[in-house]
């Protein structure tokens, strides 16, 4: 798919039907969720995914303060994007509840309130800074967004592969389809904007190199980010899949040909936490064997 203008991209996006409609959600086989056990190690990851999704509401408010947020085409996209991401968080929360993991009724408010104060302060400075860049910030915002959307979709794919839970898989397939549409929007507008000027490419590249962190890090505790990434990507093939589907695709953007940042960061987190995961698995094996002997 190749588009000439961001309006063309928006027209395409608006033709995409929602997957996670109220009907889709209501018709999921919720009464069968407990028939398949869910490995407990995925609970903190699903809670992390849920919180990141509903925090989109906050990011959306922040982005409205930036030059791209005031661009009518991008603002129109973000209106729907913001709603879709929040649905993702809510449907994940419902899945957790149906699987027997209760969450407080005000979990959305709590997630918002738990965002650290220094996050709001640094975001305030960052959004103020983007106003100095004006419309040149659009390319950066779109490239950043494309990387976030691509990595989020891969995290969901890994969750589906590892958790092997039939109802969760149906939910994740729906979410992944919507994330793919978000990716296509961000990536297509990024390509158009980056191609306009070398300065835009340099700024976007510098910002990604300096500020890119895995989705949610900063607004949620770093240890939650790292646990989620290590759980999803540490196993064989995880980092390679991320490199193939995120970093190598991001490299196709003008000015991003030799990007290594995303793979490097995820790989570093996996390396850092792998010894802990190996130790935990060994402990589990020892316990199982001792149980068998006793
Ligand atoms: Fe999402
Ligand atoms: Fe998304």
| DSSP per-residue string spanning 194-228 | HHH-HHHHHHHHHHHHHH---TTBTTB-HHHHHHH
Question: What DSSP element (H or E) covers 262?
Answer: helix 261-293
How far is ligand 2, taken at its centre, from the CA of residue 196, in Å? 25
Residue 165 has pLDDT above 70, yes or no: yes
- Residues in CB range of 48: below 8 A, 6 or more apart: 216, 220, 224, 225, 227, 228
Tell me the CA distances in angstroms from 100 to 35, 48, 159, 268, one per residue in order.
11, 17, 18, 34
The whole-angstrom separation of Cα 293 and Cα 230 is: 32
Q: How many residues does the chain have?
A: 294
Q: How far is the CA of 88 from the centre of ligand 2 (A)?
A: 9
Residue of higher predicted confidence among 11 and 221: 11
Looking at the predicted structure, is the pLDDT value of residue 289 above 60? Answer: no
pLDDT digits 0-9 by tens, 40-97 = 999 999 999 999 999 988 888 888 888 888 889 999 999 999 999 999 999 999 999 9
Ligand 1 centroid – CA 157 distance (Å): 12
Residue of 172, 47, 156 lying closest to 104 (CA atoms) = 47
How far is ligand 1, taken at its centre, from the CA of residue 53, in Å?
A: 5
Cα of 276 from ligand 2 centre, angstroms = 31
In this prediction, residue 80 carries a pLDDT of 95
The percentage of residues in the chain with a pLDDT greater than 90, rounded to a whole number, is: 72
Residue 290 has pLDDT above 60, yes or no: no
Give residue 117's pLDDT. Answer: 75
pLDDT bin (cut points 50, 70, 90) of residue 106 is very high
Residue 168, H or E segment: helix 166-196
Residue 177 has pLDDT above 70, yes or no: yes
For the segment 188-199, the average pLDDT, to the nearest whole number, is: 95
* pLDDT score, position 215: 87
217 φ, ψ to 5°? -70, 130
**67 Cα: distance to centroid of ligand 2 (angstroms):** 20
- Token digits for 97? 């509840």
Ligand with the closest atom to the CA of 13: 2
CB-based contacts of 260: which residues, under 8 Å, 6+ apart? 247
CA of 142 relative to ligand 2 center, distance in Å? 12
pLDDT band, very low/low/confident/very high, at 278 (cuts 50, 70, 90) = low
Q: Which domains does the chain have, with CATH numbers?
A: 6-293 (1.10.620.20)
What are 39's two structure tokens? 């490995």
Ligand 2 centroid to 16 CA: how many Å? 14
Residue 253 pLDDT? 97
Q: How far apart are CA 112 and CA 187, in angstroms?
A: 28
- State the pLDDT at residue 159: 98
Burial of 29 (0-12, 13-18, 19+ CB in 10 A): exposed
Compute CA distances 249 → 5, 245, 257, 283, whole Å: 21, 6, 10, 39
pTM: 0.90
Q: How confident is the model at residue 126 (pLDDT cuts 50, 70, 90)?
A: low
Point out the ligand nearest to the CA of residue 150.
2
Q: How does pLDDT run across 107-116, given as a tens digit for each residue? A: 999 998 988 7
Asked if pLDDT for residue 285 goes beyond 60, the answer is no
Q: Which ligand is nearest to the CA of 86?
A: 1
pLDDT at 281 over 70: no
Q: Please give the backbone phi and psi of residue 227, each rounded to the nearest 5 degrees, phi first.
A: -60, -45
* DSSP bridge pairs for 220: 217
pLDDT at 206: 92
Ligand 1 centroid from CA 193, angstroms:
24
Averaged over 222-230, what is the pLDDT?
A: 95
Q: What is the pLDDT of residue 25?
A: 98
Instruction: Enter the tokens of residue 104.
Output: 């407080």
| Confidence at residue 121, expressed as pLDDT on a 0 to 100 scale | 64
Q: Among 158, 141, 173, which Cα is nearest to 242's?
A: 158
Model confidence band, residue 269 (pLDDT cutoffs 50, 70, 90): very high
Closest ligand relative to 81 C-alpha? 2
> For 220, phi and psi rounded to 5 degrees?
-120, 160
CA distances from residue 267 to 42, 244, 247, 253, 271 in whole angstroms, order as listed: 19, 13, 12, 22, 6
Q: What mean pLDDT value characterizes the chain? A: 90
Please give the pLDDT value at position 70: 83
């Amino acid at each position: 798919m190749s588009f000439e203008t961001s309006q063309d991209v928006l027209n395409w996006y608006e033709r995409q039907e929602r997957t996670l409609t109220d009907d889709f959600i209501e018709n999921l086989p919720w009464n069968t969720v407990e028939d398949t056990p869910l490995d407990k190690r995925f609970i903190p990851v699903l809670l992390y995914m849920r919180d990141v999704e509903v925090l989109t509401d906050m990011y959306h408010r922040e982005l409205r303060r930036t030059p791209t947020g005031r661009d009518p085409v991008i603002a129109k996209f973000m209106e729907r994007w913001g709603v879709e991401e929040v649905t993702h968080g809510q449907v994940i929360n419902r899945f957790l509840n149906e699987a027997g993991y209760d969450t407080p009724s005000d979990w959305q408010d709590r997630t918002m309130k738990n965002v650290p104060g220094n996050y709001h302060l640094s975001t305030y400075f960052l959004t103020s800074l983007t106003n100095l860049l004006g419309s040149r910030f659009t390319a950066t915002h779109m490239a950043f967004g494309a990387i976030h959307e691509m990595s989020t979709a891969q995290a969901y794919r890994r969750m589906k592969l590892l958790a092997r839970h039939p109802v969760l898989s149906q939910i994740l397939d729906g979410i992944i389809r919507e994330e793919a549409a978000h990716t296509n929007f961000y990536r297509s507008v990024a390509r158009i904007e980056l191609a306009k000027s070398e300065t835009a490419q340099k700024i976007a590249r510098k910002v990604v190199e300096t500020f890119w962190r895995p989705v949610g890090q900063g607004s949620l505790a770093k240890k939650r980010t790292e646990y989620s990434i290590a759980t999803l990507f540490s196993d064989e093939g995880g980092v390679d899949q991320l490199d193939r589907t995120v970093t190598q695709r991001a490299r196709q953007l003008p000015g991003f040909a030799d990007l290594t940042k995303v793979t490097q960061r995820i790989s570093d987190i996996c390396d850092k936490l792998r010894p802990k995961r190996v130790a935990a698995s060994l402990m589990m094996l020892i316990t199982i064997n001792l149980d068998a002997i006793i």
